[in-house]
Amino acid sequence: MRDVMRLRVGAPVAMLDEQGVEYHGRIRRFEAGHVLVEIQNRVYHRRAFSLILAAAIIRGPRMDLMVEKAAELGASEFWPLICARSRTHNPGIERLARWRRLAIAAAKQSLAPRPMEVAAPRNFAELATVQPPGRLAIICRPGAPPLARIIREVNTRDLLIVCGPEGDFDPAETASAERVGFHPAGLGPNRLRSETAAIAALSIAAATLEEIDLGA
């Protein structure tokens, strides 16, 4: 705050904790390793909608990018997904911890009211068992009806968007998802990389939900 943001004593600051509470206060003084802030009020933020991204685990820094951008775009939860065509099945404890750190940092950078929760990896088959009534479950597929249209038609504030690995879902996964009520949705005419598809899906969904809330 002092060396990078150039804040001084008396400057107003806002801070977020992991429970979605925003604290407003002013800097009282700087000390060697910390700053003392006088809290003046606090606000608890409730999410206007629930937007969950379940995305196949991909290799390397592209997965880090996906997690970071999902948090910036307003995803409430991120579910790393193990699919039949996944090339990585066990990301490990350290990588999962890194994704959680990235989610918290992205929430701070984007001024999100609450950090995105990063769940433990789950198998594709488990998705059918975690669908509460009223949630719109979407599986992204080339050539399917546009995602924005489906969200407007169903008109819900509780979404689960599922994006596949390199090579897409296998036919058995697609068929099983549609049997339990997943809606296939498209993201446009171009073939997208896994991380691009996830980012595009979240961008479309968040913008559509905002338009619905504003009555557009």
pLDDT of residue 69: 94
For residues 131 and 60, state if they share a domain. Answer: yes
Mean pLDDT of 33-43: 88
Q: Are residue 123 and residue 209 in the same domain, yes or no?
A: yes
DSSP conformational letter for 126: G
Residues 33 and 56 in one domain: no
Q: How many domains in the chain? A: 2
Same domain, 137 and 196: yes
Helix (H) or strand (E) holding 212: helix 194-213
What are the backbone angles phi and psi of residue 180, rounded to the nearest 5°?
Answer: -95, 15
- Of 190, 169, 187, the closest CA to residue 178 belongs to 169
Residue 92 forms part of a structural domain: yes
Whether 21 and 54 map to the same domain: the answer is no
Query: What pLDDT does residue 16 have?
Result: 72
Whole-number pLDDT of residue 158: 87
Instruction: Judge if 30 and 59 occupy the same domain.
Output: no
- Shared domain for 68 and 116, answered yes or no, is yes
Q: Determine the Cα–Cα distance for residues 138 and 151; give it in Å rounded to an integer.
A: 9
Asked whether residue 65 falls in the same domain as residue 95, the answer is yes
The model scores a pTM over 0.95: no
Q: How confident is the model at residue 118 (pLDDT cuts 50, 70, 90)?
A: very high
Domain shared by 76 and 136, yes or no: yes
Question: Does residue 32 belong to any structural domain of this protein?
Answer: yes
Tens of pLDDT, residue by residue over 151-187, are 999 888 889 999 999 888 999 999 988 888 899 999 9
* Whether 28 and 74 share a structural domain: no
Query: Among candidates 159, 166, 154, 155, which has minimal Cα distance to 191?
Result: 166
Same domain, 38 and 80: no
Residue 152: inside a domain: yes
In this structure, are 136 and 119 located in the same domain? Answer: yes
Highest mean pLDDT among 14-23, 104-113, 125-134: 104-113
Q: Which domain holds residue 17?
A: 12-44
